[in-house]
Amino acid sequence: MTNLNRQFRLAARPVGRFSESDFELVESRLAGPNDGQFLAKITHLSIDPAMRAWMDAGHATPVEVGDVMRAIAIGRVTKSRHAEFGEGDFVRGMFGVQEFVVSDGAQVSKINSEEGASLAAHLGVLGNPGMVAYFGLLDVGRLADDDVVLVSGAAGAVGSVVGKIAKIKGATAIGVAGGPEKCGMLVDELGFDGAVDYKRGNLSTELSENTPRGVDVFFDNVGGEILNQGLARLNHGARVVVCGAISRYDSEEAAGPSNYTQLLYKSASMIGAPASDFTQRFPEAIAQMSTWLAGGQLTSVEDTVAGDIEMFPTMLRRLFSGANRGKSVLELGR
Amino acid sequence: MTNLNRQFRLAARPVGRFSESDFELVESRLAGPNDGQFLAKITHLSIDPAMRAWMDAGHATPVEVGDVMRAIAIGRVTKSRHAEFGEGDFVRGMFGVQEFVVSDGAQVSKINSEEGASLAAHLGVLGNPGMVAYFGLLDVGRLADDDVVLVSGAAGAVGSVVGKIAKIKGATAIGVAGGPEKCGMLVDELGFDGAVDYKRGNLSTELSENTPRGVDVFFDNVGGEILNQGLARLNHGARVVVCGAISRYDSEEAAGPSNYTQLLYKSASMIGAPASDFTQRFPEAIAQMSTWLAGGQLTSVEDTVAGDIEMFPTMLRRLFSGANRGKSVLELGR
């Protein structure tokens, strides 16, 4: 039995800003499942900033030209010859940008839909962005109760969760985002203590005004001038959590943070925090985050667009134009 | 009683490269000592890269224009009205660039000349550079036995000690220095496993060739392109010890390390390591380093020039032209 499958493959490595022509939509027949495999129909594609980094040859494990574009996704099992996955199960894995996937179950997790969270939440607050936020802030950032936390990309999938966890822990949360709408959302809907609109003008002055006690944990998703100016606000012993660099991924400009010498002056550290370092402890984090979600302390900020797989390049572009709020998800065939 | 004293004061803040006219040599009469003070004649002035950083308004605690230029120095007590310091004692402190100092003994340490080390060594391997190297490599850098250590500014006061301690601990030490002479010294005299001449051409290629197993601890004294290229060689979990940035201090160019995203890809960290974080533990380090010195495992690489205080600006310039080997000291009135 074969299924008609459409998938986006990487057609070319972009230099700087990616374009639609860097992807190729390919239609093919998908065989399987064989013994020990299942077939799933993709229902939710996770649209992540890291996708742009995966397209670059300089990434640690880039997507190869000609391969299916890498993506975390949720699917529903439609046929199974695998002992642990049954028809109707919702599963999450690195399934790629396609409509169907055949998998042997490696690195695939079953989603317990009885937890009450939306499927999109399993790609966001209970998925990779949530894990990055949880371990990045608490373990890598070593958050203390009365810390001042500065978060860039604060209206995004990771940043919004970082701010919420900071508040749950009794810390002060200041967000950096683009535009008055996003900044309003941070303060009015998510309970941040302050928001800095990096598009408005004097970033340095606004950061100073919003962090009169300095910054103890700077959780950076953006890089560029925001990282540089945030470094200027560090307190003694501060931790800079390097989570992402969305300002750089889709750009040829790649200036580094000239203020990095602040690390020396402030006995501070800058620490790379990929979620993959903490996979063993994901269950602990998911349990805690689920409790917070159920109790209303944590919010799943979702930006789900229902549509067709052809919308993938447009959805990815939206991330880099800053159009999304919270977790960006392309829901297929609703 | 008064002494004729000559001192260099900061006359102007340089923009970029400093010049002699940024200092002013002032002659004045020095009163004292009063009760609880001692008078010392400066015998050894420590010439340090940090001096250039202290001249900048952007430093955490800059020298103010009009003030005596900050310097660590060794002096001999010539008259004392202080209970703990007697005539003839050698003392070390932040005495400034001058010929005489009156001090109340705060932050001053007495030098035990029976330890057998030279007085210059008390400004180098047993002084601040040695403490920075010891705690930076072992505590901040968390050196493990089979680590590969990359050291920039390896022929300098700090870098040479970092390489020696790495070798004592059984690690692999690769140094970066300018010119074949310095690189030869690293390998032939100090026992480094390899040396990369950053002046010779392709830094990236030479770094790769010299670190086939990657880099676990990168001890950076230099910044700029050397920091950037070193980041590209990090292993998973590597530590980058930010000790200094001599390539930036005397320059208007202040590009940051664009490769800092390697921290994210390699779960690595970049940590500011001022010696001041470890002052409580200096005695432990000094005891250990003294033992290593006495046993011949550690070498005090000294670059002592005997002369007059008027030579100070020239001596400072030599640091930035890369002329010195090991600890640069201006010995006064030998």
Q: Does B262 touch chain A if contact means CB atoms closer than 8 Å?
A: yes
Angstrom distance (rounded) from CA A310 to CA B154: 55
**Mean pLDDT (whole number) for B35-51:** 96
Q: Does B59 touch chain A if contact means CB atoms closer than 8 Å?
A: yes
Report the pLDDT value the prediction gives residue B255, as an integer from 0 to 100: 82
Report the pLDDT value the prediction gives residue A170, as an integer from 0 to 100: 97
pLDDT tens by residue, B56-110? 998 889 999 999 999 999 999 999 999 999 999 999 999 999 999 999 999 999 9
Report the pLDDT value the prediction gives residue B115, as an integer from 0 to 100: 62
Report the pLDDT value the prediction gives residue A114, as an integer from 0 to 100: 62
Query: Would the pLDDT of B198 be above 70?
Result: yes
For residue B276, the one-letter residue type is: S
With cut-offs at 50, 70 and 90, classify the pLDDT of residue A113: low
Q: Does B106 touch chain A if contact means CB atoms closer than 8 Å?
A: no
The CA angle B327-B333-B334, to the nearest 5 degrees, is 70
Angstrom distance (rounded) from CA A302 to CA B104: 64
Report the pLDDT value the prediction gives residue A211, as an integer from 0 to 100: 98
Report the pLDDT value the prediction gives residue A1, as an integer from 0 to 100: 57
User: Which of A233, A234, A263, A278 has the most B C-beta neighbours within 10 Å, making it the best mutation to test the interface with B?
Assistant: A263
Report the pLDDT value the prediction gives residue A112, as an integer from 0 to 100: 80
A261 and B255: CB-CB below 8 Å?
Answer: no
pLDDT tens by residue, A149-180? 999 999 999 999 999 999 999 999 999 999 99
User: Which of B128, B246, B260 has the most A C-beta neighbours within 10 Å, making it the best mutation to test the interface with A?
Assistant: B260
By DSSP bridging, strand B302-307 and strand B327-332 are: parallel
Q: Does B226 touch chain A if contact means CB atoms closer than 8 Å?
A: no
A261 and B271: CB-CB below 8 Å?
Answer: no
CA distance B149 to chain A (A): 19
**Mean pLDDT (whole number) for B18-46:** 95
Query: Would the pLDDT of A57 be above 70?
Result: yes
**Mean pLDDT (whole number) for A266-281:** 93
- Short-list B37, B71, B64, CA closest to B332: B71
pLDDT tens by residue, B120-142? 999 999 999 999 999 999 999 99
A135 CB neighbours in chain B (<8 A) are none
A272 and B254: CB-CB below 8 Å?
Answer: no
Backbone angles phi, psi at B327, to 5 degrees: -75, 120
B257 and A260: CB-CB below 8 Å?
Answer: yes
Residue with token string 């505590």: B139
Comparing alpha-carbon positions, the chain B residue that sits nearest to A259 is: B256
**Mean pLDDT (whole number) for A201-226:** 96
Cβ within 8 Å of residue B175, ≥6 positions away: B150, B151, B152, B154, B155, B159, B163, B183, B186, B190, B192, B194, B195, B196
Distance of CA B186 to CAs A215, B156, B161, B183, B201, Å? 41, 10, 11, 5, 19
pLDDT tens by residue, B258-291? 999 999 999 999 999 888 899 999 999 999 999 9
Task: Identify whether the C-beta of residue B29 lies closer than 8 Å to the C-beta of residue B98.
Answer: no
With cut-offs at 50, 70 and 90, classify the pLDDT of residue B181: very high
Comparing alpha-carbon positions, the chain A residue that sits nearest to B224 is: A258
Give the one of B269, B273, B274 whose C-beta lies nearest to A271's C-beta. B269
**Mean pLDDT (whole number) for A50-60:** 90
Report the pLDDT value the prediction gives residue B174, as an integer from 0 to 100: 98
pLDDT tens by residue, B207-257? 999 999 999 999 999 999 999 999 999 999 999 999 998 888 888 777 899
Tokens of residue B21, six digits: 């006219």
Q: Which domains does chain A have, with CATH numbers?
A: 2-124+301-332 (3.90.180.10), 128-276 (3.40.50.720)
Global pTM value: 0.92
What does R_g of chain B's alpha carbons equal in angstroms? 20
Give the one of B59, B270, B277 whose C-beta lies nearest to A263's C-beta. B270
Q: Does B96 touch chain A if contact means CB atoms closer than 8 Å?
A: no
Tokens of residue B332, six digits: 């006064």
Query: Would the pLDDT of A62 be above 90?
Result: yes
Angstrom distance (rounded) from CA B236 to CA A95: 26
Report the pLDDT value the prediction gives residue B32, as an integer from 0 to 100: 85
Q: Does A236 touch chain B if contact means CB atoms closer than 8 Å?
A: no
- Short-list B299, B325, B330, CA closest to B313: B330
Give the one of B59, B257, B261 whose C-beta lies nearest to A245's C-beta. B261
Q: Does B241 touch chain A if contact means CB atoms closer than 8 Å?
A: no
Cβ within 8 Å of residue B219, ≥6 positions away: B133, B136, B137, B141, B149, B150, B151, B152, B159, B162, B241, B243
Q: What is the ipTM of this complex?
A: 0.90
Q: Which helix H or strand E contains B332, and what residues bound it?
A: strand B327-332
Query: Would the pLDDT of A39 be above 90?
Result: yes
User: Which of A61, A259, A260, A262 has the most B C-beta neighbours within 10 Å, making it the best mutation to test the interface with B?
Assistant: A260
Report the pLDDT value the prediction gives residue B113, as an integer from 0 to 100: 67
Report the pLDDT value the prediction gives residue B1, as an integer from 0 to 100: 57
Report the pLDDT value the prediction gives residue A257, as an integer from 0 to 100: 94
Query: Would the pLDDT of B145 be above 70?
Result: yes
- Short-list A322, A303, A318, A52, CA closest to A198: A322
Average pLDDT, chain B: 94
Query: Would the pLDDT of A214 be above 70?
Result: yes
User: Which of B226, B239, B270 has the most A C-beta neighbours within 10 Å, making it the best mutation to test the interface with A?
Assistant: B270
DSSP B280: G
Q: Does B256 touch chain A if contact means CB atoms closer than 8 Å?
A: yes
Under DSSP, is residue B224 helix (H, G, I), strand (E, B) or coil? Answer: helix
CA distance B293 to chain A (A): 28
Cβ within 8 Å of residue B283, ≥6 positions away: none
Q: b vs e for B109-137, b when ≥16 Cβ sit within 10 Å of the residue's Cβ? A: bebeeeeebbbbbbbbbbbbbbbbbbbbb
